[in-house]
Structure 1
C-alpha cells in the first residue's frame, strides 16, 4: 500500500497533480483544498488513498492526513464514491466539513454539487459520532463552541438572505470567527460583507 508520494510537482490542475518520484510520474486525483496547498511549490508530499477496482486503479492525493481521514469516512457512507467525496472536500475545508457534520447542517452539505437531501442526511447520520470521536481526537481543532456555532449559523443565514451563496459565506464567517471567536453576530456580518 502507498502511504504517501513525495517528489517534484510535474503537472498541476485543480483536479489532478502529477508528482515525479525519481522518474516515475504518479497522477493523483486531488481536491481544491489540496490544489491550493500545492500551488506555487516545486516539490510536495501527498498522502495517498488507492482505489483498486476491476476496471481501474485510481490514486487520490491529500495535502494532510486529516483530509485523507475525512475522505475515508465519506467513502464509507453508502452512495458516496471517491469523486463525490473529492467534490465535498473541494467545496468545504476539512475543518468546515467536520463542523457541518457535527452541527448537522444539512443545508450546507446540500450546496455541494451532486449532493441531494437524502445523501446529505445519510452523511450526517453515518458520520456524526465518528467525527466527534475520530477527527477531533487526532488533535485538530474542528468544533466551534456552542455560542460560537450559534453566531456562525446566524451570520451565514443572514448573508444567504442578503443574496450571497452559502459556501463562500460559510468560509468567510469561519475565517472571521477564527480570528475573533468572541465577535458578536452584527460585527461578523459587517466584516463578512467587506470580504465577500
Structure 2
C-alpha cells in the first residue's frame, strides 16, 4: 500500500517525526525540522507523503507541498544522498533555491544543509545539471493545507513559472542547462511571471 497524502490532525510532534491522526488511526511520518517547527498539537493538516517500502519496514515522509516531496525523491537520484540527507537539504533550501543552485553551478549552497559536505554538494550539481525539474505524481503539483504554512503555495507558483520559462526556452532551441541557468539569473534580477522570466533569460543568453 502506497500512501500519497494524509488529512487529519497533528496528534504529537517528535524531534524528527509527526504523528497524524486520521479518523482514529495514527500515522507516524518523518519530517524536516522546518515543517515540524511550524506545527502544533491539534493542528489540522493535509500533508503530502512519500512512502518508502523495504523488506523490513514501511517509512512515511511528510511534506508541506507536493513540490518538496518531488524534490525529496529527485535528490535521492544522486549517489550518496539518502532520505535524511534529502530532508536536511530541503530544511536549508526551498525548491526555488535548489533549482537556482543547480542551474548556476553553486555547489556551496548545498553545504548549508546539515551533513552535506563540499564533495557531495558538487556531486548534486553535476548529477542534476541539465535535467528538467521534477513534476508531481500526476504531471502537476497538488496543493496541501498545513496549518501555519500559508506561504507554501506562492513558492510552488514561483518555481512552476520557472519551469514553464525553462520549457519555453528549450522549445526555442536552447539546451536544458542553458535555459535553466538563464532563467535562474532572470529570477535573481526580480522576474517572477513566465513572460518576464523568458524575456530576462533571453537577455542573459544574448550576452
TM range (shorter): 0.5 to 0.7
Tell me the equivalent position of 2:33: 32
| RMSD after superposition | 2.9
Relative distance call for 1:125 and 1:91 in structure 2 (3 A) is same
Tell me the equivalent position of 2:105: 104
Following TM superposition, by how much is the alpha carbon of 1:85 offset from its aligned partner in structure 2, in angstroms? 0.4
**SS across alignment from 1:129:** coil
Of structures 1 and 2, the one scoring higher in RCO (CA 8 A, sep 6+) is 2
Contact 1:9–1:17 under 8 Å retained in 2: yes
Tell me the equivalent position of 1:168: none
Structure 2 unaligned blocks of 5 or more: 141-155, 163-182, 193-207
Distance 1:122 1:18 in 2: 34
TM-score (norm 1): 0.66
**SS across alignment from 2:113:** coil
Following TM superposition, by how much is the alpha carbon of 1:19 offset from its aligned partner in structure 2, in angstroms? 0.5
Pairs within 5 Å for 1:38-53: 38-39=39-40, 42-53=43-54
Contact 1:33–1:93 under 8 Å retained in 2: no
TM-score (norm 2): 0.63
Q: 2:185 aligns with which of 130, 134, 146?
A: 146
Tell me the equivalent position of 2:6: 5
Relative distance call for 1:145 and 1:119 in structure 2 (3 A) is closer
Relative distance call for 1:22 and 1:178 in structure 2 (3 A) is farther
Contact 2:107–2:122 under 8 Å retained in 1: yes
User: Which aligned runs of 4 or more in structure 1 are off by greater than 4 angstroms?
Assistant: none
**SS across alignment from 1:85:** helix
Pairs within 5 Å for 1:62-141: 62-130=63-131, 132-134=132-134, 140-141=157-158
Moved more, 61-70 or 91-100: 91-100
Contact 1:14–1:31 under 8 Å retained in 2: no
Instruction: Name whichever structure is richer in helix by fraction.
Output: 1
Number of residue pairs the alignment of both structures matches: 153
Distance 1:75 1:8 in 2: 29
